[in-house]
Amino acid sequence: MQHRSETNKAVFHRKEPRGKPGRSCASSLLIPALAVFWLFASPVQAIRLTYVDHLFDVAYRFNAPSDVAVSTTDRIYVVDGVNNQIKIFNYSGGFISSFGREGSGSGEFRQPLGIDIDTSGRVFIADSGNHRVQILGPDGDFIAQINITGTAKHAADPTDVVVDEAGNRCYVVDNDNHRVLDYRLSDLQLIDVYGKPGTAKLEFKYPFLITLDKQKRLYVVDVTNTRVQVLKPGGTYAGTIGDWGVEPGEFFRPKGIAIDPAGRVFISDSYMGVIQIFNPMGEFHAVAGEPSNRAVKKFRTPVGLFIDHNRRLYVVEMLANKVSVYRINGESK
């Protein structure tokens, strides 16, 4: 499934050091300067833009939403983690219903963060505070759950989940334990574990969101290492997208990820407020831009992303308490 987040601010920052490892924490003072770079960058001068036309916003009593997914029946599901709810909207953004409340029972949540929906309509929720992934029906009816076992150092902290197109495997990001877990869905058994803490290949520091491409490669947003790592089926290393920095193709805090039908990789940077686009080889291609003024499009804390079959781009703007919806169009020269 195409998939894309950041939790609510208080929860997320207890997990993520502000400074880049190996750099002074004073690097956080660069944020205003970096924001100015992206704000005034001109496509005429340097940066190719992929234009996104604003369609509408989805906003309904959210409190720091973190992720979004769209079902095969074109229903929009938004993770409203602080409210411990999943909210459902129609394809025009109209509210349909919600499910969930705070708790540890079936269909209840504690800080849900990530979501994916399989082709049969089952909804998979990374229920972070309950250390599990819940599997629910399209309207929130409980089906099953995967209890995630932590390590000697930390309880499990599932922040995202993605299901393969066949509905056979489920991949879960365990943020606090810096790894990705591979589950077989027929019996909900753990098959393999990918990664460990660190900065080398196949090592992670607070991975957060995840997606799959058509070749079944996993894309893991490795937040504090400021990169996206790509894994082949079976968990072997395939490549890395991005690095720490201020130039196009570099990140300050990558968070959300989605892949369009052409295989281009969209990655949100929550601190810089931009979405960068990479080609299927992982090379920088463009930045999401405003067609009206041919400028870099600025978002407010963009986290979870999703791209649907109609080339719609869904952007969770966490601190704006909304999901903004765009159509992906042409590019600047």
Per-residue pLDDT of 243-290, as tens digits, reads 999 889 999 999 999 999 999 999 999 999 999 999 999 999 999 999
**Nearest Cα to 52, choosing from 324, 246, 303, 333?**
324
- On whether residue 302 sits in a domain, the answer given is yes
Least confident of 19-23, 99-103, 322-326: 19-23
CATH of the domain at 260: 2.120.10.30
Binning pLDDT at 50, 70 and 90, where does residue 45 land?
low
Binning pLDDT at 50, 70 and 90, where does residue 14 land?
very low
- Cβ neighbours of residue 199 under 8 Å, at least 6 residues apart? 21, 205, 225
- What is the model's pLDDT at position 332? 78
DSSP designation for 47: -
- On whether residue 2 sits in a domain, the answer given is no
Cβ proximity of 201 and 192 under 8 Å:
no
User: Would the pLDDT of 43 be above 70?
Assistant: no
Torsions phi, psi of 120, nearest 5? Answer: -90, 0
Segments forming the whole domain that contains residue 243: 9-331
Q: What is the pLDDT of residues 178-192, one digit of tens each?
A: 999 999 999 999 999
- What is the model's pLDDT at position 19? 35
Binning pLDDT at 50, 70 and 90, where does residue 38 land?
low
Query: Per-residue b/e over 242-259, b at no fewer than 16 CB within 10 Å?
Result: bebeeebbbbbbbbbbbb
- On whether residue 1 sits in a domain, the answer given is no
- On whether residue 33 sits in a domain, the answer given is yes
- What is the model's pLDDT at position 35? 54
Q: How many domains does the chain have?
A: 1
* Number of residues assigned to the chain: 333
CA distance 147 to 191: 14
Task: Give the pairing of strands 203-204 and 67-70.
Answer: unpaired
Task: Give the pairing of strands 49-58 and 284-290.
Answer: parallel
Cβ proximity of 100 and 85 under 8 Å:
yes
- What is the model's pLDDT at position 10? 32
Torsions phi, psi of 25, nearest 5? Answer: -65, -15
- The mean pLDDT value of the chain amounts to 90
Instruction: Provide mean pLDDT across the span 167-186.
Output: 98
Instruction: Provide mean pLDDT across the span 204-224.
Output: 98
- What is the model's pLDDT at position 29? 44
- On whether residue 4 sits in a domain, the answer given is no
User: Would the pLDDT of 9 be above 50?
Assistant: no
User: Would the pLDDT of 20 be above 80?
Assistant: no
In the numeric block, which tokens belong to residue 208?
A: 């957060």
What percent of the chain lies above the pLDDT cut of 70? 86
- pTM for this one? 0.90
Which residue in this structure is represented by tokens 């932590």? 150
User: Would the pLDDT of 79 be above 90?
Assistant: yes
117 forms beta bridges with 123
- On whether residue 3 sits in a domain, the answer given is no
Give the CA radius of gyration of the chain.
Answer: 18
Could you tell me how far CA 62 lies from the centroid of its own chain? Answer: 17
